[in-house]
A and B are shown apart, each in its own frame.
Chain A
Amino acid sequence: MAERPRPGLWALFGIWLVLGTQSFGGGSSTLLFIHRACMKYGWVDESEFVRDWALVQVAPGINLVKFTALLGYRLRGWAGLAVAMAGLLLPSSAVTVLMTAGYDAVRSQPVVQAALKGILPATIGLSLAMAWQMAEPLLTRSWHEGRARLSAHALVLVASAACLILGASPVIILLLSGVCLVLLLAAIPCGAETRTS
C-alpha cells in the first residue's frame, strides 16, 4: 500500500464541504464526486476505493455517510472522521430543510420541473460511469488470470444486478456474491503467473 497522504483538517473539511453542497440529484452524483476527489488527491487507489465501498454496504446506516466516515478516519483518525462528516452533512442537511420548506412553492415552477427532468436521467448516466470505473481494475486483473476467471467475475456482476432488479435484498446479494466468487475462484485455477495482490 502506498504512502497515504495526510491532508490538513481544514483542507479536508473544505473538500467535503464542496462535495456535500455540489452533488444535487441524490446519491449517485455524490459518490462520483467522492471518487474524483479520492483519485485527484491520491487518498486511496481504485482497488481500495471499491473495497471500502463494499465494506460500507454491510454496516448499518446510509452508505455515503459510512463511506465518508471511513475515508475521513483512514486519512486523519477521529478528527478526520469528524470534519469529513460535518463537511458532508451540515450544508446538505441545511439545504434539504430549506428545500423542504420551499418545496410547494418551487414544485409548481415549470423551469424547475423541466430542469429536473434533465438532471435525473443524467444521474443515471453518472452512476453507470461510476460502476464502470469501479469494475475496470478488477476485471483487468482477472483478465490477466485467464478467461475463465474473467467470466466468473462478470457472471457475479451480472447476476447481482439481476437479483436486485428481481427484488432481492442488497445485503443478501452482496454476501452471496462474495461466497459465489470464492467458490468459483477455488474451482478455476489462476491462469497466468500474476500473483493476486
Chain B
Amino acid sequence: MTYFWLFLKASLLSTGGLGNLPFLHKDLLALAWARESDFVTALAVGQVSPGPSGLWSISLGYLTFGWLGAGLALIALAVPPLLILVVAAFYGRVETNLTVQHFTRGLAMGVVGLTAGVAWALARSTIFDWGGVLIALGALLLAASNRVPIILVLALAGLAGCLLYLH
C-alpha cells in the first residue's frame, strides 16, 4: 500500500515524464526497495520502449515488485492525468477573454520553446558525431514533409545506425 502511495504521490506532484524521478529516487532508495542500478535500467528502457518515456516507472515497478509492481505503477500513472479535465473545463469558461487568449498564445510559444530546449538537451547526450547530426536532420526533413510514416523514419534511422556504427 505504501508502495502504491509513493508512486501515486510522485505522479501527482510532478508534471512531465521524468518529473516523478526525484520523488521515487529519494523515497524508494530510503526504504531500500530499489537499487541505484534499477533506476538506470528503468530509465534506459523507458527511452526505447514504445509510448511515453514516462512509462519508465512501470519498468521500475517491475524491477522492484514484479508484475504487481508494474500494474500498481501503471494505475498510479493513469489516475492523476484525469485532473486535466478540470483544467480544460476551467479554461473553456474563460477562453473568450482576450487576455486569456494572449496568455494561451504565450503558453503555446513556451511549449514550442520547451520542445526545442528538450531536443537540445537530448542531442547533447545522444549525438556524438556527424552521422548522428545527419540522421537527426534527415528525420527532421522527412517528418516535416508529412508524407513519410513515422515508423518508417524510425526504421530507416535504425538501419542507418546499423550501417554507421556496427563494426
Number of chain B residues close to chain A: CB under 8 A: 96
Instruction: Give residues in A with beta carbon < 8 Å to B.
Output: 20-30, 32-33, 36, 50-70, 73, 81, 85, 88-89, 91-93, 95-97, 99-101, 103, 107, 110-111, 113-135, 138, 142, 153, 156-165, 170-171, 173-174, 176-182, 185-186, 196-197
**Contact digits for B114-157, partner A, Cβ 8 Å, 1 yes 0 no:** 11111111110011000011011111111110100011011011
Residue contact B144 to A51, C-beta cutoff 8 Å:
no
Q: Can you give 25 contacting A-B residue pairs, CB < 8 Å? A: A22-B150, A27-B17, A28-B119, A32-B150, A60-B15, A61-B11, A61-B81, A61-B84, A62-B52, A63-B52, A65-B52, A81-B82, A89-B55, A92-B52, A96-B51, A100-B63, A118-B162, A121-B123, A121-B139, A126-B139, A135-B112, A158-B113, A160-B110, A177-B109, A178-B107
Residue contact B105 to A153, C-beta cutoff 8 Å:
yes
Q: How far is the CB of A186 from chain B (nearest CB, A)?
A: 8
Main secondary structure of the interface of B (DSSP, over half): helix
Residue contact B112 to A131, C-beta cutoff 8 Å:
yes
Partner of B154, one of A111, A119, A124: A119
Main secondary structure of the interface of A (DSSP, over half): helix
